[in-house]
Amino acid sequence: MDSLIRVRYAKAFFQTAKDKNMLGKFKTDIETVFDVCNNSPEFIYLLNSPVIKSSKKAELIESIFRSTVSQDTLKFLLLITQNKRETEIPGICRNFLELTRKDQNIKTATLVTANEIIPAVTERIKTIIEKELKARVELSTKINPDMIGGIILRVDDKQYDASVATQLKKIKQQLLNAEIK
């Protein structure tokens, strides 16, 4: 459950992006910030540290993002920090991106396979999903070497499991049910 703070900040920035007709640019900026949040434990430590003053956090945030995001996005991050809500930045980013995807009819999908698949196959799968859902799809791929074979496809909160391991479990269950009868 997202906090009301995260939702309010995300909605306010989303509305600003729409009003300024800069949703694409702001989305790219927020993806950059969210990527730093997800891939830098040091940055999360900075945001969560009660020892570092908000003014120092603002300086560091400005130095980190000054050359990579727009001035509007930087001002937004500094406003969050000034209001002592910097610990909420990752959640605000996630909420903003969800609002943007919903507004632009973009679905997120993850394709999990045992081995790497060629880009042409990935593009074909993406095209099929887009046609089926009547939406744009942001498809990411993951490799799970523990899978025997097959695929697992997650689209938003739904999952289609066509992995060999799952098929074997189903066969095993059918055999056990047949023995019981």
Please tell me the distance from the alpha carbon of residue 25 to that of residue 7, in angstroms, as a whole number. Answer: 20
Signed CA dihedral, 92, 96, 97, 102: sign only: positive
Q: Is the same domain home to 86 and 19?
A: yes
Please tell me the distance from the alpha carbon of residue 23 to that of residue 43, in angstroms, as a whole number. Answer: 25
Final residue of a structural domain among 102, 126, 158: 102
Please tell me the distance from the alpha carbon of residue 33 to that of residue 40, in angstroms, as a whole number. Answer: 10
Please tell me the distance from the alpha carbon of residue 52 to that of residue 61, in angstroms, as a whole number. Answer: 12
pLDDT at 100: 94
Final residue of a structural domain among 70, 102, 134: 102
CATH code of the domain covering residue 36: 1.10.520.20
pLDDT at 66: 93
pLDDT at 181: 59
Please tell me the distance from the alpha carbon of residue 137 to that of residue 58, in angstroms, as a whole number. Answer: 35
pLDDT at 166: 81
- Count of structural domains, the chain: 2
Please tell me the distance from the alpha carbon of residue 61 to that of residue 82, in angstroms, as a whole number. Answer: 11
List the beta strands (DSSP E) in 44-178.
106-113, 136-143, 150-155, 158-163
Is residue 58 within 8 Å of 76, Cβ to Cβ?
Answer: no
Q: Is the same domain home to 15 and 71?
A: yes
User: Where in the sequence is the domain holding 98, given as residue range(s)?
Assistant: 4-102
pLDDT at 6: 93
Q: Is the same domain home to 9 and 43?
A: yes
Own/partner long-range contacts of 15-20 (Cβ < 8 Å, ≥24 apart): 16/72, 16/76, 17/100, 18/103, 20/72
Q: Is the same domain home to 93 and 23?
A: yes
Q: Is the same domain home to 49 and 38?
A: yes
pLDDT in tens, the chain (181 residues): 458 999 999 999 999 999 999 999 999 999 999 999 999 999 999 999 999 999 999 999 999 999 999 999 999 999 999 999 999 999 999 999 999 999 999 898 899 988 888 899 999 989 998 998 899 998 889 998 888 888 888 987 788 888 887 888 888 888 888 766 5
